[in-house]
Amino acid sequence: MKSFVYKLPQESQKNNFIFNMIGSLTNALVSLVLMIVVSYVTGDAVAGVFSIAYSTAQMMYTICVFEMRNIQVTDAKREFSFEHIAMFRLITIAITWIFFAVFVVVRRFERDTILIMIAITIYMTFSALSDLFQGNLHRNGYLSIAGKSLACQVLLMAVAFSSTLIITKNLLYAVAVMPIAVIIWIFVYDVPYNNNFAAFRPRFDLKTQKNMFLCALPLFLASFLHQYIFNSPKYAIELTLNKIEQAHYGYLVMPVFVINLLSLFVFRPQLITLSSDWVSGNIKSFKKMVVKLYLWVVLVTVAALLGGYLLGIPVLELLYNTNLSDKRSIFMVLLLSGGFSAASTLTLTLFTTMRKQVLCLVAYGVTTAFALVAPDIMTKKWGLMGAALSYLCEMVLLFAVMFVLFVININRGVKNEGV
């Protein structure tokens, strides 16, 4: 596969920032766009099925990637080769499908919902392979190419999905074309650029695979549990309420996910700098960047709350062709949750650069214990507002525990000169 190679453009920090932002924005907005198309073409009930299926497939995606992207990019000592990371990705994809089979049986989803989940999870599987190539480009200084790949891949999938749904009016047919789009993109774009640095030749070495697993495990568990926590109100709604209310919650919670992803396009370009500062013991520079990143999260959250209060519900009603006029308070609770979610994601990223991600499991363990019980109780008692409040409580709890641990460890880093 190394015979087909595209010429690399000149490296540019400006292009890295711009195209990473474009990729992140496109990825952040795609689920919103897909939900809009589904709601207009098929109605709220089918949109409810799509919402729970897409969210579950995203949770499966976290198993596929096993959070190796941040490990891959911040691997300043080059401990793991691309060939070993590629093999690791194939292993985690296999594990994903085993877990998926068990999960759908335990949750007892309806047959049609399971079929939709399977198709979207296949798409997520190949997206994880694309992420493997994007991560290698990022590590070698070409985040701009990775950003372009993410944006174009997502756009291609969205066009294929939307066109199929509009023509056939059948959700299963529409989700079936999603994997085809990403497979085409991998071979047309990702592989030729990645071949400048390494061919896709997965290589297995037990010791290396074990080291990667142990390095990524705490971060993966944190990410997976974060995704489960995000989905827990939806699973509570699935048990307690109906498909239309599931769709309404999906419409209202979508901007929350967008806030988190909008923050990523600022986080990712700083990963290499943060990692270098921490490894070299430049704690002052590290702390300065950390403050800027947290301020960015606050700014995005405040802007989202103001915009959401003034325009959120009318815009969502227009986008989804439905009535949400009595749900403004629920929407505001969810937007505030999004701010705490983004702050938690940032803190997790910071722990990764410090290679202390195992400490995040304390926060996620506490929050998951809460998420296993509270959403069902609160949703049953207060309906959609209960689901929204349960998510806010989860995010506040997660960030509070994580931030306390971060402050303790950054102070230790100062005392030990970053070692």
Q: Is the pLDDT of residue 71 over 50?
A: yes
256 plus 187 within the same structural domain: no
Highest mean pLDDT among 162-171, 217-226, 310-319, 341-350: 162-171
pLDDT, position 154: 96
277 plus 350 within the same structural domain: yes
Q: By C-alpha distance, which of 105, 170, 158 is closest to 127?
A: 158
* CA separation, residue 24 to residues 27, 72, 111, 275 (Å): 5, 18, 33, 21
**341 lies in some domain:** yes
Domain end point (choices 178, 204, 230): 204
Give the phi and the psi of residue 86 in degrees, each rounded to 5. -60, -45
pLDDT, position 166: 97
Alpha-helix residue ranges (DSSP H) falling in 140-205: 143-168, 171-176, 178-185, 191-194
SS (H, E, C) 202-220: CCCCHHHHHHHHHHHHHHH
136 plus 246 within the same structural domain: no
Residue with tokens 């915009």: 307
Query: Which of helix, strand or coil describes residue 363?
Result: helix
Is the pLDDT higher at 301 or at 119? 119
252 plus 187 within the same structural domain: no
**146 lies in some domain:** yes
183 plus 330 within the same structural domain: no
191 plus 249 within the same structural domain: no
Number of domains in the chain: 2
**Predicted model pTM:** 0.81
51 plus 172 within the same structural domain: yes
Domain end point (choices 181, 204, 227): 204
106 plus 246 within the same structural domain: no
pLDDT, position 329: 93
Contact 281, 419 (CB under 8 A): yes
Structural domain of 328: 239-413
pLDDT band at 265 (very low <50, low <70, confident <90, very high): low
192 plus 264 within the same structural domain: no
**227 lies in some domain:** no
Instruction: Find the mean pLDDT for residues 107-128.
Output: 93
Q: Is the pLDDT of residue 118 over 90?
A: yes
* CA separation, residue 254 to residues 34, 281, 348 (Å): 11, 39, 22
178 plus 255 within the same structural domain: no
